[in-house]
């Protein structure tokens, strides 16, 4: 037998597949999926995979991946190739595209070494693409089912009354799927598939960005409902507020782009948090000085009620608005903060504490439960006032005693957006009004809080740069931490929602190797992600004053740079 007879037939190219009849295409897909399932079920399937190549010659130095030549901590194996190398040029261009907001071109499986992580990613994309195809077919079936003549021609049903109540019932009976699954497919198809008007004209999907990502297999199907429901509620809020439709459309499209982008880098549960966070921001932005339902419409819902005494303890019921809740959360967070130092730093030690924030000091064991700590913290503040509460009772975080921190852009603070009818697209893009724990709150509440001398209002300029970090007296490291917290909002790792007071300030470039203690070289990281960066799971690259996270190859074989969009859009 000749060598040519041993050669595997060349696989059809994607362009060739597009030219195949649908019948032939589904036959090939069915055969390929059956063969793939059989291959992967074999005990020897791992023998076909390549090992993951670990980058050598670097120190895991505080998350900054240093190399013997002293190069930057964001250097990768590809970065060490000569600039003229096509692989190096392609990799650097791809990362720059992602960090500049441009989409990253798709990567063919043929062009990459097939490792176990790469196979996971590829197979997940295939499964999602099949799910999208099922959704599209369900949408076409719904269109046919409602037309008796077409129903007879394409589904083979006799004209007249059918054995099924509707399309969902038909899919359930014919495909043997749960009725909730058939309804889900139809619901998604109504939003993401093209449709035909009565005139025969083809209409685009209602959510084109979401549709494109789903059809390419980039999103889990559970993400569809999170994004669709959020944008539908945003539309209702905009209509109720009566703002300019063009401005509302622009912001909703921005929200769609944001959620679709984030959905490709996080699991659906974290995406749901991003959606909820964005919706709160949208609601406050379209009506920044509008009525607070709790404050003005239902004041009787607020209050503190003594419910009686049971088992020797008094029971209290508390109902608070956002501003009141933020004060309570500031106290509760400080009292239960797992990263808080048990002994407050002396003034002369604050600077050293900021420089030693990369340590792993474990606090002494405290036998109290979190609920007990919250109550003790609240009683301490009520007894002496938050401004003079003993730091041993209410621990400090990051060299600062606990204070209510709110962030607002300067135009909103100065009531430049009072008349909602004059809000422009630029105003909506600039708008910021949020507190550390409550999230987005109405600007009027922040103006009220800012009247208190113990509130730290962080005022932001038009581009988000810190203009003022308040008037409280504190050493430089404390002010710097507050500025970094104003920029990052919370843990800056992609998808993380841990608030700023629970985070460490991490040196992107290690201080001992010449990295400055500055806002441009600092990033907020929660305990988990701080350890992950130290372990080499992420590399951090500061670009345009914001931290970008580059995952290790075992997390993402393509190493696409990512940003946290939960705290800052």
For helices 208-215 and 179-192, angle between their N-to-C axes, nearest 10 degrees: 120
Structural domain boundaries in the chain: 59-98, 116-210, 219-287
pLDDT for the residue numbered 135: 94
Two structure tokens written together for 568: 């800052």
pLDDT for the residue numbered 228: 93
Which residue, 401, 408, 415, 396, is CA-closest to 468?
A: 408
Evaluate if residue 460 carries a pLDDT over 90.
no
pLDDT for the residue numbered 130: 93
pLDDT tens figures, 240-297: 888 888 888 999 999 999 999 989 888 898 899 899 989 988 988 887 655 555 444 4
Q: Could you give the CA distance from residue 423 to residue 244 in angstroms, rounded to a whole number?
A: 8
pLDDT tens figures, 126-171: 999 999 999 999 999 999 898 888 888 998 888 777 888 899 999 9
Confidence of residue 408 (pLDDT cuts 50, 70, 90): low
Evaluate if residue 48 carries a pLDDT over 70.
yes
Residue 562 phi/psi, 5° resolution?
-130, 155
Distances from the Cα of 307 to the Cαs of 14, 294, 300, 302, 314, in angstroms? 68, 22, 17, 15, 7
Evaluate if residue 566 carries a pLDDT over 60.
yes
Q: Of 344-348, 385-389, 394-398, which one has max mean pLDDT? A: 394-398
Two structure tokens written together for 5: 């007879």
Q: Could you give the CA distance from residue 241 to residue 239 in angstroms, rounded to a whole number?
A: 5
- 505 and 484 Cβ atoms separated by less than 8 Å: yes
pLDDT tens figures, 490-538: 889 988 878 888 888 888 886 656 677 777 888 898 878 888 887 888 8
pLDDT tens figures, 210-249: 999 999 899 998 899 999 999 999 999 888 888 888 888 9
Mean pLDDT of 377-383: 67
Mean pLDDT of the residues in the chain: 72
Q: Could you give the CA distance from residue 498 to residue 531 in angstroms, rounded to a whole number?
A: 14
Which residue, 288, 282, 329, 277, is CA-closest to 567?
A: 277
Which residue, 402, 383, 422, 266, is CA-closest to 334?
A: 402
Distances from the Cα of 255 to the Cαs of 61, 300, 428, in angstroms? 37, 35, 12
pLDDT for the residue numbered 242: 85
């Amino acid at each position: 037998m000749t060598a040519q007879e041993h050669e595997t037939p060349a696989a059809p190219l994607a362009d060739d597949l597009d030219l195949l009849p649908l019948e032939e295409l589904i036959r090939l897909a069915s055969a390929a999926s059956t063969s793939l399932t059989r291959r992967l079920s074999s005990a020897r399937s791992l023998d076909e995979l390549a090992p993951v190549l670990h980058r050598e010659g670097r120190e895991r130095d505080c998350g900054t991946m240093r190399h013997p030549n002293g190069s930057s901590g964001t250097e990768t194996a590809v970065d060490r190739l000569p600039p003229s190398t096509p692989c190096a040029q392609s990799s650097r261009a791809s990362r720059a595209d992602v960090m500049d907001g441009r989409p990253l071109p798709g990567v063919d499986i043929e062009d990459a070494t097939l490792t176990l992580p790469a196979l996971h990613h590829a197979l997940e994309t295939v499964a999602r693409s099949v799910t999208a195809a099922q959704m599209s077919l369900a949408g076409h079936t719904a269109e046919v089912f409602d037309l008796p003549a077409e129903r007879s021609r394409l589904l083979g049903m006799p004209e007249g009354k059918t054995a099924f109540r509707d399309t969902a019932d038909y899919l359930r009976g014919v495909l043997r799927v749960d009725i909730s699954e058939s309804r889900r497919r139809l619901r998604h198809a109504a939003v993401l598939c093209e449709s035909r008007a009565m005139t025969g004209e083809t209409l685009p999907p209602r959510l084109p960005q979401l549709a494109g990502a789903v059809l390419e297999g980039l999103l889990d199907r559970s993400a569809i409902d999170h994004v669709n429901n959020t944008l539908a509620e945003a539309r209702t809020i905009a209509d109720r507020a009566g703002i300019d439709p063009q401005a509302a459309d622009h912001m909703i499209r921005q929200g769609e782009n944001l959620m679709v982008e984030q959905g490709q880098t996080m699991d659906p549960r974290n995406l749901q948090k991003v959606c909820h966070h964005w919706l709160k921001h949208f609601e406050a932005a379209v009506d920044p000085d509008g009525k607070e339902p709790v404050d003005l419409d239902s004041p009787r819902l607020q209050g503190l009620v003594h419910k009686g005494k049971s088992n020797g303890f008094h029971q209290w019921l508390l109902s608070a608005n956002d501003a009141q809740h933020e004060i309570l959360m500031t106290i509760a967070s400080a009292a239960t903060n797992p990263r808080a130092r048990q002994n407050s730093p002396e003034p002369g030690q604050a600077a050293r504490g900021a420089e030693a924030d990369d340590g792993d000091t474990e606090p002494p064991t405290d036998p109290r439960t979190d609920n007990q700590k919250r109550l003790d913290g609240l009683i301490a503040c009520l007894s002496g006032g938050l401004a003079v509460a003993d730091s041993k009772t209410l621990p400090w975080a990051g060299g600062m005693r606990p204070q209510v921190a709110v962030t607002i852009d300067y135009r909103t603070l100065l009531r430049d957006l009072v008349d909602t009818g004059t809000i422009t697209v630029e105003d909506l893009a600039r708008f910021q009004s949020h507190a550390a724990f409550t999230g987005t709150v109405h600007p009027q509440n922040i103006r009220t809080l800012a009247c208190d001398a113990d509130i730290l209002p962080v005022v932001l300029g038009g581009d988000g740069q810190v203009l003022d970090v308040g008037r409280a007296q504190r050493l430089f490291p404390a002010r710097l931490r507050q500025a970094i917290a104003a920029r990052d909002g919370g843990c800056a790792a992609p998808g993380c929602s841990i608030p700023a007071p629970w985070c460490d300030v991490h040196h992107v470039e290690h201080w001992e190797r010449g990295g400055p203690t500055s806002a441009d070289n600092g990033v907020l990281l929660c305990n988990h992600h701080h350890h992950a960066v130290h372990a080499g799971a992420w590399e951090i690259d500061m670009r345009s004053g914001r931290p970008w996270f580059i995952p290790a190859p075992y997390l993402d074989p393509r190493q696409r740079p990512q940003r946290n969009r939960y705290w800052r859009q």
